[in-house]
Structure 1
């Protein structure tokens, strides 16, 4: 655990980044937000997706889609598109609830900003939280993902190869890098 001045600096950096990202998203027009959110998935998926924006604890629909996918920009500024089971999984993660017992699929073709592979929701890299940044990828989400054998379950994976994110937590899922 980070303590002392390092912890204070990490928390301050996280708050500053979250505030800057939130301010940037608030300045975006709905059209710009929709365009950025849709970069997360292949065009065939994104063009029919619902695009939503987080506003506090609620979601605002910016574009009602024609398929079962939802695209949005996460609080850290990263676009993602997921199916209904994936949205339920994201909701569970954000509210620290038990994840649903359904398989979900998520696209993050714009990559991510990195996250702790040891502590879901850790706000910033520290020497002991096994920070990993993955380029463009897709994810298989849900409790059943734990039963898929053959993927590295290390806290320090090679993010250019498939691996298990957040091993041995309720939010364990498969990360599958794509080019």
Structure 2
């Protein structure tokens, strides 16, 4: 028991605390978020954390979020207003529809990955097409019928539909190789 308590104490000392220097933490989150998309977008985008706290005001209508682990842009994303609405609906498990195209950049790619079939899966299974995509662009369209004819296979070597048949269906457009 003493060894466990000592280990926990030591771990607490070694793990940097975001409350120790909130500005350093904000700077790290902003730096990570800026890796998500092209500089023409990120230079003037609003940067927010996943809790919705504005870390930097922007003026071009785009919002960039840092990744979960601040790991070289992995999971970081820059979204337009449509994609931001989709993301909030997905996180809240609420319905989503749109009357216009929405775009999201993820230049750092996925961190641990996601199911290509089930938007709420939290781990890979033998039948949920788990994929950790490299750099990619995501496009949501107003009419899901327009997705017909596109592959749903992330191994197809080109664009594919993720989460087909759900309100969150979108086109994944790989922009580079997946990292092992």
Fold-level match, TM-score > 0.5?
yes
| Number of residues of Structure 1 aligned to a counterpart in Structure 2 | 152
Q: Return closer, same or farther for 1:129/1:46 CA change in 2, 3 Å cut-off.
A: same
Find 2:64's aligned residue among 40, 50, 71: 71
| Paired residues for 1:24-173 under 5 Å | 26=18, 29-55=25-51, 59-75=52-68, 78-101=75-98, 102-113=100-111, 114-154=113-153, 157-158=154-155, 160-173=157-170
Deviations 1:113-160 (A, max 9, x none): 210112102111122322012110000024435414442024xx2164
Task: Check the 8 A contact 2:162/2:170 in 1, yes or no.
Answer: yes
Q: Which protein is richer in strand relative to its size?
A: 1
CA RMSD of aligned residues (A): 2.3
Q: Return closer, same or farther for 1:135/1:172 CA change in 2, 3 Å cut-off.
A: same
CA distance in 2 between counterparts of 1:25 and 1:152 reads 44
Structure 2: stretches of 5+ with no match in the other structure: 1-14
Q: TM-score, normalised to structure 1's length? A: 0.76
Q: Return closer, same or farther for 1:44/1:34 CA change in 2, 3 Å cut-off.
A: same
Deviations 1:80-106 (A, max 9, x none): 000011100101111111113132100
Q: Which protein is richer in helix relative to its size?
A: 1
Task: Check the 8 A contact 1:92/1:100 in 2, yes or no.
Answer: no
Structure 1: stretches of 5+ with no match in the other structure: 1-22
CA distance in 2 between counterparts of 1:37 and 1:106 reads 13
Deviation at 1:24, TM superposition (A): 7.7
Of structures 1 and 2, the larger Rg is shown by 2
Q: Return closer, same or farther for 1:118/1:149 CA change in 2, 3 Å cut-off.
A: closer
